[in-house]
Structure 1
Amino acid sequence: MRFLPVFLDLQAGPILLIGAGELVRAKLRLLLAANARIRWHAIDGDRELAGLDPVAADAIEFAEGNPLAADLHGVIAVMCAGAGDLGPMMALRAKAVGLPVNVMDDLDNSTFIFPAIVDRGDVVVAVGTGGTSPVVARRVREMIEGVLPARIGDLASFIGRWRKSINARISEAPLRRRFWERVVDGDIGAKILAGRGSEAEQALGAITDLPAFAGASHEGAAKGHVTLVGAGPGDPDLLTIKALRALQDADVVFYDELVSPEILDRIRRDASRVPVGRRIGKPGIGQDATNRLLVEAAKAGQRAVRLKGGDPFIFGRGGEEIEVLRAAGVSYSIIPGITAGLGAAAMFEAPLTYRGEALRITFLTAHKEKDAGAVDWSVLTDAKMTIVVYMGMTAAPAIREGLIAAGRLPQTPVGVFARVTRPDAQAAVGTLENLPALVAQITGGPAILIIGDVVAHSAPWRAANINKLVSDILVAAE
């Protein structure tokens, strides 16, 4: 490690900034965001501040004259960006008086460098590569951005406001540490991260026996919580940031069989994993047993995740589960996911709505033929309605018969989209009258059926028509 990460107090004195053009303005934006005091030598005479916060820009002091002769008294660091040959010369002067100096893109003349920064208020993460690869540093920063809670800075500020008064009431340092661990990892910290700061303030203020709270076993006495998480249709990169954070925080994860292995790999390594879902021919443990496991985990003080393919509230029985949790007095939260219908639409370029053609959408499920028989198809005959059917492969013949009998045209475009957003995704497109034959082309589910004129805009439909056109041309040429 050549460069030691440190944090500079920018309120201790001004930063002497030397340079011109967009390079120096990028540094201005960075320093202003950190509330720095800036003394700027604009070596080209252009002091334009367009695009900068006018209030923050009040922190800029415009310096005159030759920066090589500038008064360095009180200056805490020197920075050069877009300074040309002045950069190395200014570095020599700064080093001579022991001031930290950074010359942009010049490691030999710099005594400090800028990391890639993740800024969450009171929580700041710096990522460096020793100046060798800023692009790699930015990529690592993006990864951290993806898992760091948006309100983690609020949590640090919250603890900062309470720390002095709480620590004064807990004399032993190890006990103080356990107290704050329980706050951060428990329900109070979860409230802050969820934006419910006033509830967190009340909860912390209501703790009367601080040592007892700190000494309570996290596993046994802590209040558990259940999070219903939508895993999306399969691509792990489609997990929301909140979903990924929940998987990393979980003590136990109860997951559906449709959740992809790549998503299961995002679960914290030492968390327990319990399969509870079902597929055709595999009934699973049943919904009642799943409900019971969720309640038991929470009452044992665990952070439990109920991980569902797609979205918990779209044919995912999420509503039933929160009713059980509510009745049991269990704390819970819901993190939505991208439902498979939207995943199919995006992957295969099948817009579910289209101006002038498709003005409304209906989502329905038809797991078995009897499910299709219970649908009132007469309300689904509008040609300007897109129908998205979940779990409809087995019931495809009944779906076709029901829609055609109700008045939907046999020539209505349809698509069968299987394993959407995954590398082995598959599509078959055609018309409603041929729906069972299209399903037969699919080598395995889960699959979404999209019925409506919008399917004619999809990539598979366009490809099929191009292939047919080429085939017709070849036949004609023969």
Structure 2
Amino acid sequence: MRFLPVFLDLATGPVVLVGAGEMARAKLRLLLGAGASVRWYVTDGDRDLAGLTEPERSRISFPEGAPLHADLTGAIALLCAGAGDVAAPLAAKARALGVPVNVMDELSHSTFIFPAIVDRGDVVVAIGTGGSSPVVARRLRELIETVVPARIGELAALIGRWRTPIKARIPEFPLRRRFWERVVDGPIGRAVLEGRLTDAETELKTIDDATDYARHSLGRRADGHVSIVGAGPGDPDLLTLKALRALSDADVVFYDELVSPEILDRIRRDAKRVPVGRRVGQPGIGQDAINKLLIETARSGQRAVRLKGGDPFVFGRGGEEVEALREAGVSYSVVPGISAALGAASQFEVPLTYRHEALRITFLTAHKAKDAEAVDWSALTDQKMTVVVYMGMSAAPTIRDGLLAAGRAADTPVGVFARVTRSDAVSAVGTLNDLPALVDEVDGGPALLVIGDVVAHSAPWRQQQLLQLVSTYQMAAE
């Protein structure tokens, strides 16, 4: 390790910035965002502060004199960004005075480098590559961003506020450490990460015997919890940060059969995995049995995840599970996921709404023909309504017949979008009259049916129209 990670206290003095242009302004924004006071020697005379707030501007001073003679008295550090020929002699001056210096993209003149930063308030993660590859550092930062909770800084701040009072109540360090471990890993920490800071403060205040609370963590696990998590349509990169966090914390994951293997790979390695879903036409264990498993797992003190394809509250029976957990008095939370309709819309450029053309959307499900027969199709004939059908492949003929009989035009554009956001995603587009044939084209699901004029704006529709034009031209040329 050539570079020692060090955190500078920016409240102890100013930072001297020398340079101009976007490079200097990028460093300026970084410094101001961290709360620094900045002496800025502008090398091109352009002191434009557009985009900065008044409090931020108040922390910037523009000293008189040439940049080469910059006043480094009391400076925490010197930064040169876009400083040109003045950077090297200034860096030598800073080193002679013992002031840390960074010359952007000039490692030989620098005594420190800037890491890639994950900023969570009181929690800051710095990633460095010794100045050799900022791109690698940024990519690593992106990975860390996905697993570090957005409110982890608030949790650290909460502990900081209570640190002294708890130290007075638990003098023994090992026991005090266990106390904070239980706070971080249990309901109090979870409440902070979910944005319920007041609840967390209240629960801390109600702990009468802090020593007993800490000792409890030795013999009993923290209270169990169930997270009902939307896995999205299949692409693991579409998982939310909260979903990834839940998967990394889980003791047991109960997952649907349609959750992709790539998403299952994001589950903590030592977590137990239990398949509980079912495919169309195949029996599952039943919703009541799933509810019972979730309740029993939480009551045993474990953290359970109910992992569902798409979003839990869009044809995912998430509402039923929430009611069961609520009635059982089990702690739970819901993490939304990207529904298949939104995944298809983005991947195949299907605007589910379109100004003046599609003003309403209806989502429905039709596992079987009898499900489709029970739908009131007369309510879905409005030309300005987009109809999205989940799990409607086997019922496609009944769906078509119901809409046609109710009065929807036979030439209404429709699309069948299968395995959306996955590597084997495929689509077939045409008209309502041809819907069953389009379902056969995609060769297996899961698939989504989109019915309405918006399909004519999709990428597959445009591609099909182009191919037809080319074919027509070729036939005419022959």
- Asked if 1 retains the 8 angstrom alpha-carbon contact of 2:280 and 2:367, the reply is no
Distance 1:393 1:46, change over 3 A: closer
Amino acid at match of 1:149: P
The answer (yes or no) to whether the contact 1:219–1:301 under 8 Å persists in 2 is: no
Structure 1: segments with no counterpart, 5+ residues: none
Does residue 325 of structure 1 match 2:325?
Answer: yes
- Partner SS for 1:118: strand
1:30-429 counterparts in 2 under 5 A? 30-217=30-217, 220-429=220-429
Q: TM-score, normalised by structure 1?
A: 0.96
Cα distance in 2 between the residues matched to 1:451 and 1:218? 58
Shift of 1:231: 0.8
**Does structure 1 retain, via aligned residues, the 8 Å contact 2:382–2:408?**
yes
User: In structure 1, the residue corresponding to 2:84 is in which secondary structure?
Assistant: coil
Instruction: Measure, in 2, the Cα distance between the counterparts of 1:144 and 1:274.
Output: 28
User: How far apart in 2 are the matches of 1:355 and 1:259?
Assistant: 34
Deviations 1:30-61 (A, max 9, x none): 22222223233334444333332321222233
- Paired with 1:145 and 1:82, the residues of 2 have a C-alpha distance of 29
Q: Which runs of 5+ in 2 are unaligned?
A: none
Q: 1:5 offset after TM fit, Å?
A: 0.6
Q: Relative to structure 1, is the Cα distance of residues 220 and 375 closer, same or farther in structure 2, using a 3 angstrom cutoff?
A: farther
The answer (yes or no) to whether the contact 1:220–1:300 under 8 Å persists in 2 is no
Structure 1 position 67, deviation (Å): 4.9
Structure 1 range deviating more: 366-375 or 8-17: 8-17
Q: Per-residue deviation at 1:404?
A: 1.4
1:475 is aligned to 2:475 = yes
Cα shift at 1:18 = 2.3
- Indicate the larger mover: 349-358 or 173-182: 349-358
| Separation of aligned partners in 1, 2:105 and 2:307 | 46
Supply the AA of the counterpart residue of 1:347.
Answer: Q
Counterparts in 2 of 1:107 and 1:381: CA distance versus 1, 3 Å: same
Count how many residue pairs are aligned between Structure 1 and Structure 2: 478
TM superposition shift of 1:149: 1.5
Higher mean C-alpha displacement, 140-149 vs 313-322: 140-149
How much has 1:78 moved relative to structure 2?
2.1
Residue 63 (structure 1) shift: 2.2
- Deviation sequence 1:388-409 (CA, Å, 0-9, x none): 1111111111111211122222
The C-alpha deviation readout for 1:255-311, integer Å capped at 9, x for no partner, is 101111111111111211111100024312211111111001111111111110011
Moved more, 110-119 or 349-358: 349-358
1:294 aligns to what SS in structure 2? helix
SS at match of 1:16: strand
- Quote the offset at 1:413 in angstroms: 1.7
Cα 1:219–1:227 shift into 2, 3 Å:
farther
Give the C-alpha shift of residue 467 in structure 1.
2.0
Q: TM-score, normalised by structure 2?
A: 0.96
Change (3 A) 1:260 1:63: same
State the Cα distance separating 1:69 from its structure 2 match. 4.6
Q: Output the CA distance in 1 between the equivalents of 2:464 and 2:472.
A: 12
d(CA) in 2 for partners of 1:241, 1:363:
26
Q: CA deviation at 1:194?
A: 1.4
Preserved CA contact (<8 Å) 1:219 1:300: no
For residue 364 of structure 1, report the CA deviation from its aligned partner.
0.7
Counterpart Cα distance in 1 of 2:233 and 2:421? 6
The CA distance in 2 between the partners of 1:232 and 1:276, in whole Å, is 17
Name the SS for the 1:449 alignment partner.
strand
Superposed CA offset, 1:175-206 (max 9, x none): 11111111111111111111111111000111
Q: What CA RMSD, in Å, does the superposition of the two structures yield over aligned residues?
A: 1.7
Report the AA paired with residue 460 of structure 1.
P
Change in CA separation of 1:212 and 1:467 when aligned onto 2, cut-off 3 Å: same
CA distance in 2, matches of 1:419, 1:72: 61
- Cα distance in 1, alignment partners of residues 383 and 57 from structure 2: 58
- Bigger shift: 69-78 or 430-439? 69-78
* Contact 2:383/2:453 (<8 A) preserved: yes
Post-superposition Cα deviations, 1:432-460, rounded to whole Å, max 9, x if no partner, equal: 22211211222111010111122122222
Give, in whole Å, the separation in 2 of the partners of 1:397 and 1:435: 7
Deviations 1:227-268 (A, max 9, x none): 111111111111111111111121111110111111111111
Stretch deviating more after TM superposition (89-98 or 365-374): 89-98
Checking the alignment, whether the CA contact within 8 Å between 2:185 and 2:222 is kept in structure 1 is: no
